[in-house]
Amino acid sequence: MSRRKKLDTRDARHDAAFRRAREGGFAARAVFKLEELDKRFRLLQPGRKVLDLGCWPGSWMQYTAERVGPAGLVVGIDLRAVELALPTWVHPRVGDAEGLDAAALRDEFGPFDTVLSDMAPHTTGDRNSDQYRSEELCARALTIAQVVLRPGGHFAAKVFQGGGFAALLVRMRAQFAEVKAVHTEATRAGSREQYLLGRGHKPGRSDPS
């Protein structure tokens, strides 16, 4: 596959996965996490509409754009602008997911088939604080998904597991028919990073939070 994109060179962690991502034309090594989740749980298909929260530097949008193709749509939201050449069916936007008007987004694009979130907090070095903030971001992604997902739609979000993890699972089970917590092979050893997967969105269910 030929890609003419500006790669992110600010990632100083030049491990094998980073080099492999660069060789493939992807902006970051995180693409392999999404690829694994997609292959295992069939999150993406040609023609689907996908919302990508925390989309910078853009590797998830690159992968998703190829999977949904020109009949699909990808909308990305991040505080930072994505500096990549992307296909016409990909729409990166600068914005704050915490203040995002999810209803307005659904009105503009219609219901989405999949919501992805790779949002992460600016880490402070205090593990409890960072985990708490990560769980808040995951909870916000769930709230957005509840509004914009079609019935039967899918969800995948990164979270650093902490004290609020069990409550997130309760919320997930209220919103989706199938829920899994996944530690991807591309995640570094020892990391508390997980991905919460939800398949089969159940609109209109009460949110226990």
Band of pLDDT at residue 17, cut at 50, 70 and 90: low
What is the model's pTM? 0.87
Establish whether 5 is a catalytic residue.
no
| Torsion, CA 30, CA 126, CA 139, CA 108, rounded to 10 | -60
pLDDT (average), residues 186-204: 87
pLDDT at 21 over 90: no
| Residue from 63, 69, 74, 86 nearest 4 by CA | 86
Q: How far is CA 82 from CA 79, 85, 194, in A?
A: 9, 9, 24
Q: Which residues contact 130 (CB under 8 A, 6 or more apart)?
A: 121, 123, 124, 160
- Catalytic pick among 49, 158, 180, 202: 158
Higher pLDDT residue, 152 or 125? 152
User: What mean pLDDT, rounded, does the chain reach?
Assistant: 87
Q: Which domains does the chain have, with CATH numbers?
A: 32-201 (3.40.50.150)
pLDDT (average), residues 93-101: 96
**Structure tokens belonging to residue 74:** 């990808």
pLDDT (average), residues 191-199: 93
pLDDT (average), residues 37-51: 97
pLDDT at 53 over 70: yes
